[in-house]
Amino acid sequence: MGNLPAFAILMVVVFLSGCEQRTADKPLLYSNAPASNAATIYSFAVHPLYNPQKLFEAYQPLVDQINHDLKGVQVGLEASRDYASYEQKFRVRTPAFLLPNPWQTLEARKVGYHVIAMAGDPEDFKGIFLIRKESDIKVPEDIKGKMVSYPSATALAAAIMPQYFLYTNGININRDIQNEYVGSQESSIMNVYLGKSAVGVTWPPPWRLFQKEHPREAGQLKVIWQTPSLINNSVMVRDDVPAEISEQVKKTLLELSNSTGGKEILSGMQTARFIPATDSSYDIVADYIKHFEKVVRPVELK
């Protein structure tokens, strides 16, 4: 690594930590409010859009706004190191509030969570394929025999939808390419930046953040393909959270885009706005997943 810039060395560490197999995962709770004064703390678990530090930077202002509007209770931001640990948390109903991807939304519905909003415009929920600018890849046929990196097998925009895109373009993802699930969006981007994979798959918010924070490195990459859009991430509440608390959180989310301060919070999350949604809004995802599993692969790999 002697010739790599300091940023790249740092990101190699991030990349490696994203790939590391871990067996334990303790909740990572972040809050600017003192824990001792709150009668009840409801955890708000956001799926691994970023590593825990960046997730805190992006989403703590939202949690602070929610806490400003709530009376008598507090919300604490909870991060997870990878998709598997996040999914384990909601399956045992630990968090009170979730911000999951659409496939995770379907899974969380099975254990008693319900949708109260959508996080971002549906048009923004799509997979993007990144290559180095000097790459000779031009059409999907060119990736045969090469490695493609994704954050997780259950990442809808950043794995499932891109793999379906490849399927519709004549690529058998189980035979024609090597799929590497590397643990995080950043690791997927870094895989292609460092030349570990020929193609790195992610989706718009992490790519926008990477371009903003690391323009020199992002300048060595380019988007070669993108999938059609589907429906964006949800916000969900566990069915035993009091209705008045759920309604206040929903109200805060939906009103963010109406104020300058709220727009700043949204900008930090790379999210245009929160919009109304219900459980039935995500029925389209169930149909999509059913077809994907029939023609491509099971969502959850053994």
Q: What is the pLDDT of residues 6-57, one digit of tens each?
A: 444 444 444 444 443 333 444 445 444 444 454 689 999 999 988 888 899 9
Q: pTM to 2 decimals? A: 0.84
pLDDT of residue 8: 46
Per-residue pLDDT tens over the stretch 111-140: 999 999 999 999 999 999 999 999 999 999
pLDDT of the residue at 301: 86
Q: How many CB atoms lie within 10 A of CB 289?
A: 18
Per-residue pLDDT at 81: 87
Which regions of the chain are under pLDDT 50? 1-28, 30-36, 38
Q: How far apart are CA 5 and CA 66, in angstroms?
A: 39
* Closest to 289 measured CA to CA, from 120, 92, 98, 153: 153
Q: Give the per-residue pLDDT at 17.
A: 42
Phi, psi dihedrals of residue 21, rounded to the nearest 5°: -85, 130
Q: What does the pLDDT read at residue 18?
A: 43
Q: What pLDDT does residue 39 have? A: 60
Domains of the chain: 26-122+231-291 (3.40.190.10), 126-228 (3.40.190.10)
Type of residue at 168? T
Question: pLDDT at position 181, please?
Answer: 97
